[in-house]
Chains A and B, each alone.
Chain A
Amino acid sequence: MIRYLAKRLGYYAVLLVAAVFLAYALSSAALGPRTYFEAKQPRPSAASVDRQLTALNINDRTPVVERFATWSGGLLLRGDLGRTIHDTSVNEEFGRRIWVSLRLLLLGSLLGMVLGVAAGAFGAVRQYRFSDRALTVLSFVLLSMPVFLVALFLKNGAIAAKDAAGHEVVPFVGYETPGLTGGAGAHLADWGLHLLLPTLALALGGLATYSRYQRSTMLDVLGSDYLRTAEAKGLTRGRALLRHGLRTAIIPMSTMFAYSFLAILTGAAFTETIFAWHGMGEWFIQAINEQDVNSVVAVNLFAAVAVLAAGFLADALHAALDPRVRY
């Protein structure tokens, strides 16, 4: 198992390098930082534009491979992600925003997965009863909604609740109340409240996807011989389901986790923008509109590492749950 995981890790490292270069080349080719500087008032001279671009290592007249070498050299030697178009440090911005996004990503994906697996297992056990049907309909409707629409519905609901109650019921802007006084407890409660809607927007999509898959794999397991054997050994139905049924049924979910993480990253970018969270997603959309190459690359790097980490986690989970993975 260790050998298998080490092999996967090596492959992921190669993929990561290729992917980051791809992102770098693409961002450099597609974005036009030169136009950003040329549009400044009063209009700077051509020489001064060139100088500024070169200083930021985003001059399109330098070959892209050379720029990439400079950039990756700085990253590998000093952990330096370069400068933004406003000549501030990308690292500082990155450090500020990553925690905002990770909070949302981890909570949203975990909550979606746990709820989805629970709902799917529950639906399978109560197949064709009313509760199962209701869950199926709900997951179907959720699957047919883009995440940004779910987020907008939640936000509009919060606005409507505010108008009806005359005061804010659930916060729908930002991730903390500015100027909040009080101890750590008050801060935590405030964070939790602000997390509620964005996390829910992310988790609902996960819930829909996971529950459908979990339900169908669980149904396969429910009719299986070894479950009957476990019950014949004297385990109660509930214990047999938990110990033997759920474990087998969760295995395919680990593969799903890796793929669905892509969707969650995308969803988080939308959710952040809608709820005015200053996270990675918002930064990305902003950076594209400002032709800020290094910031765009930094967000891509974050996404690539996150996706590969999720993939590796899925591999590890798969290997741990499924004794057949030994090659």
Chain B
Amino acid sequence: MTAVLPTAPAGPRPAVPTGRLRLVLARLRAARGVLVGGAIVLLLFALAFLGPYLTPYDYAAPDYAAIRQPPSAAHWFGTNGIGQDVFAQTLRGLQKSLVIGLLVALLSTGLAGLVGACAGYFGGWTDRVLVFLVDLLLIFPSFLIIAIVSPKLRGAGWLAFVLLLALFNWMVTARVVRSMTLSLRDREFVRAARYMGVAPLRIVLRHILPNVSSFLIIDATLAVGGAVMSETALSYFGFGVRPPDVSLGTLLAAGTDQAPVFPWLFYFAAGLLVLFVLAVNLIGDGLRDALDPTSDRSGT
């Protein structure tokens, strides 16, 4: 489900002289993607957290006098089967999904950076054990594991779900960080620090991680989109956020069967979900072009 994939081993790089103009153009294009994506994300956040003040309806309050009404001036996104305002519900779900996406991305990328850098820097048994652990966790689609464990967390609330998502979302990134660390380890400044007797963990934190930070930033951005997609999928099948709590996933699950007849119950949530992930991917892609000129995964 993640949009983050390992860097493919680089093929032979052509020695094409890049003109200044072409470079500037490429940077501009990247910047445009970042700007457009960033604007959309900001707008969506504003909508999610300020939007509820625009509507008099509470997301949970049923209104049996207005059931399954199409969108109108009173109910902008219409109402659902028990007369709840879909606009208020969708904003509430969007809030939850955005917060989950951000938290999961931060946690999992942080963990990936730390584990990958430690494995690469210390080598030996540390490396072997960590790589084995990564491989082991990569054997199962994380969905399987999360679905098995999630019933146990039924009472623990959505933060536990965030931890669970983050816990099974860092392996591929950790691998890439590890291979980057291997090449950093023999660089002069790291050697100098080592011979000066700087503590190993401090070297990892102060010298290795800052040098893979641009990759981590890109990765974290893309991971937000991936996490939101995982959250909605898991919630859709009842393994994530659970009613009465609302996320985009639970809204989609509730609206699915009625989508052909009452499209507003489904397509507003679906549209916002795709729009958000699209915007995040635009930012990630643009950042990759701008921050990582040597990357062999250049986008447009």
Contact = CB atoms under 8 A, between A and B. Distances in A.
A216 B140 contact: no
Interface stretch (A40-48, A81-89, A180-188, A251-259): A251-259
Given A216-B299, A285-B147, 9 more contacts: A15-B132, A140-B278, A149-B270, A220-B11, A226-B12, A251-B11, A259-B138, A300-B140, A300-B144
Given A27-B148, A285-B237, A304-B139, A144 B260 contact: no
A213 B278 contact: no
Nearest to A318: B9
B5 A209 contact: yes
Between B8, B139, B145, the greatest number of chain A beta carbons within 10 A of the residue's beta carbon is seen for B139
A259 B233 contact: no
A22 B14 CA distance: 45
A22 B136 contact: yes
B297 interface: yes
B72 interface: no
A223 B2 CA distance: 31
Interface stretch (A54-62, A72-80, A109-117, A266-274): A266-274
Interface of A: 15-16, 18-19, 22-23, 26-27, 29-31, 136, 140-141, 143-149, 152-153, 156, 159-160, 163, 209, 212-213, 216-217, 219-221, 223-226, 248-249, 251-253, 255-256, 259-260, 262-263, 265-266, 269-270, 273, 284-285, 288-289, 296, 299-300, 303-304, 307-308
The main secondary structure of chain A at its interface with chain B is helix
B9 A251 contact: yes
B296 A303 contact: no
Contacts of A160: 260
Interface of B: 1-3, 5-6, 8-9, 11-14, 16, 132, 135-136, 138-145, 147-149, 151-152, 172, 225, 229-230, 232-233, 236-239, 252, 256, 259-260, 266, 270, 273-274, 277-278, 280-282, 285, 296-300
A221 B233 contact: no
11 contacts: A16-B139, A30-B148, A146-B230, A148-B233, A149-B232, A220-B12, A259-B6, A266-B143, A285-B147, A285-B237, A303-B141
